[in-house]
Structures are given as C-alpha cells and as structure tokens.
C-alpha cells in the first residue's frame, strides 16, 4: 500500500444502506409461499415428481442466492418430502 500511496481506511456503512441495496434488486423467486400437501403429489407419476424436485431445487438455490434462507429451507423440506414419496413409489 505504501508503494502505491494508498492509506487503508475503514468503510463507514450502516446496515440500512445494505438493506436498501438488497431491496432494490428484483427477486427472481416468487414471494408466494407454496405448501404442497400429500394430496398435491399423490396423483403425480414418478416422472412428474422428478421434474418437480428439479424445479423446486432450482427455486431453492435461487432463493438462497437472494438471501431468502427461510423460504429456501421450506423448499428443502418440501423436496425431502417429495423424495420420500418417490422412494415409496419405488418400493411398491
């Protein structure tokens, strides 16, 4: 730093500045809460369930990227439930 004439300085930024920056970004994940019950996945065949898992995983990763960790965790739990349904279909 001395060689280039740079003096290190502490950044003075409040939490509200960061929150404002994050609120300006357009979320790509829908804000609606999705809750699938057993009834929603019971009628789906194996291929449809696998596609649903892939779609939910993409949505979960996007939510985590947008720092929407609670929503991502709910999606993770939903994915686990659907995977259990897939295992039950395989066992039959």
How would you write 14-25 as a 3-class SS string? Answer: CHHHHHHHHHHC
Check residue 3 and give its pLDDT: 86
Give me the residue spans of the domains in the chain. 29-91
Q: What is the pLDDT of residues 22-52, one digit of tens each?
A: 665 556 556 555 555 555 677 788 889 899 9
In sequence order, the 6+-apart residues with CB closer than 8 A to the CB of 63 are: 29, 69, 71, 72, 75
Q: What is the pLDDT of residues 39-85, one digit of tens each?
A: 567 778 888 989 999 999 999 999 999 889 999 999 999 999 999 88
CB 84, CB 42: distance < 8 Å: no
């Amino acid at each position: 730093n001395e060689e280039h004439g740079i003096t290190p300085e502490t950044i003075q930024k409040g939490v509200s500045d960061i929150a404002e920056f994050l609120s300006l970004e357009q979320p790509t994940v829908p804000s609606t809460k999705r809750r699938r019950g057993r009834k929603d996945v019971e009628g789906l065949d194996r291929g449809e369930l696998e596609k649903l898992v892939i779609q939910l995983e993409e949505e979960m990763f996007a939510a985590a990227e947008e720092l929407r960790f609670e929503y991502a965790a709910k999606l993770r739990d939903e994915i686990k439930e659907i995977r259990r349904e897939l295992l039950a279909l395989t066992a039959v």
